[in-house]
A and B are shown apart, each in its own frame.
Chain A
């Protein structure tokens, strides 16, 4: 198993990509802590993994709350003895251009998508250092690579994640802590189901995806698995683009 004896903390693990990552990582031998605001959904994923013979615990986690991050990392260490992997997966999407974006919306998107990654990283690092190293996987987006007609705060937040990842990689390489970003294209998840419900929007995304289909949470989860595992032990500060060819054009 590719994550045997690893302990992984996944933010936003109650549904969507995070839940699929949690199940895949557990199948590959990891002990998984899922942190999320959505307690009912989170408890369900927790139960599902435990019933299938895995080890999983749910913790309540608002990624913009520093204290909640401290508790989530403590839970991983007290329950499973250490922390090896952090997947900063939680995020929100807002489809507004610059003028439509209120200052409040800007703050909300940046707090969750960018500051949330910073806080998770900050509190995971000491535990990873104690564990002799670790792997941080930050879910950015193709919106962290190229501009967008329909988003601005989201774009900015994912660009922030892209470069924070590289600083983390440089700053903590000596501690054996790796940090990489994943850049999904359009993935069918609860986060995107709102705008994908619009046929024109869906067709637009399809037209811009050369491979001829939208992404599935599994596509991202397998990339995260690669980066989380020791198979990627020489990979740090890298960007893994999982977008069906969208940004290659």
Chain B
């Protein structure tokens, strides 16, 4: 098993990509802490993993709340003895151009998508250092690589994640802590359901995908699994693009 004896904390693990990552990682031998605002859904994923012989714990987590991050990391260490892997997966999407983006919306998107990643990394690093190293996986987006007609705060937040990931990689390489970003294209999840249903968005963002399909949460989860495992022990500060060829054009 590729994550045997690893302890993993996944933000936004109650549904969508986070839940698929939690199940896949558990199947590969990891002990999982899922943090999310959605308690009912989170408890369901927790129960599901535990029932099939995995080990999973749900903790309430608002990623903009530094105290809750500390508690989530402490819960991982208390329950499973250490923390090896952090997946900063929680995020929100807002489809507004610059002039349509209110300052409040800007703050909300940047708080959850960018500051949430910062707070998670900050809380996880001391525990990873104690574990002798670790792997931080930050979910950015193709919107962290190229501009977008349909978003502005979202694009900025994902660009922030992309470069924050590299700084983390450089600053903590000596502690054996790796840090990499994943850049999914349009993945079929609850977060993107409204956008995909919009025919203009679909024409602009989905139809030009060279592989001619929407991404599935599994596509991202396997990339995260590679980056979480020791198979990628020489990979840090890198960007894994999982977009069906969209940004290669």
Q: Which residues of A are interface residues toward B (Cβ below 8 A)? A: 166, 169-170, 173-174, 178, 185, 210-213, 215-216, 219, 222-223, 225-226, 231-245, 247-249
Contacts and interface: CB of A to CB of B under 8 A. Distances in A.
Which residue among B173, B213, B238, B249 has the maximum number of chain A CB atoms within 10 Å of its CB?
B238
20 contacts: A170-B248, A173-B245, A185-B234, A210-B236, A210-B237, A216-B234, A219-B232, A222-B226, A222-B231, A226-B231, A234-B185, A234-B213, A234-B216, A240-B238, A240-B240, A242-B234, A243-B235, A248-B170, A248-B237, A248-B238
A175 to B, nearest CB: 11
Interface string B203-224: 0000000111101100100110
Nearest to B187: A234
A241 B185 contact: no
A170 B245 contact: yes
Given A222-B232, A226-B226, A244-B173, A169 B239 contact: no
A241 B237 CA distance: 9
Nearest 10 pairs between A and B by C-beta? Answer: A237-B248, A248-B237, A173-B210, A210-B173, A219-B234, A234-B219, A222-B231, A231-B222, A248-B166, A241-B238
Interface residues of B, number: 37
A235 B237 contact: no
Given A173-B210, A223-B226, 14 more contacts: A174-B212, A178-B211, A210-B170, A222-B231, A223-B235, A225-B231, A232-B222, A237-B241, A237-B249, A238-B242, A239-B241, A243-B235, A244-B234, A245-B169
A54 B197 CA distance: 48
A234 B238 CA distance: 18
B212 A173 contact: yes
A178 B243 CA distance: 12
A236 B210 contact: yes
B170 A249 contact: yes
A210 B238 CA distance: 13
A243 B239 CA distance: 12
A211 B248 contact: no
Nearest to B133: A211
B178 A211 contact: yes
B236 A169 contact: no
A248 B231 CA distance: 19
Nearest to A235: B242
Given A173-B210, A210-B170, A226-B231, A243 B238 contact: yes
A115 B236 CA distance: 30
A225 B219 CA distance: 15
A222 B226 CA distance: 9
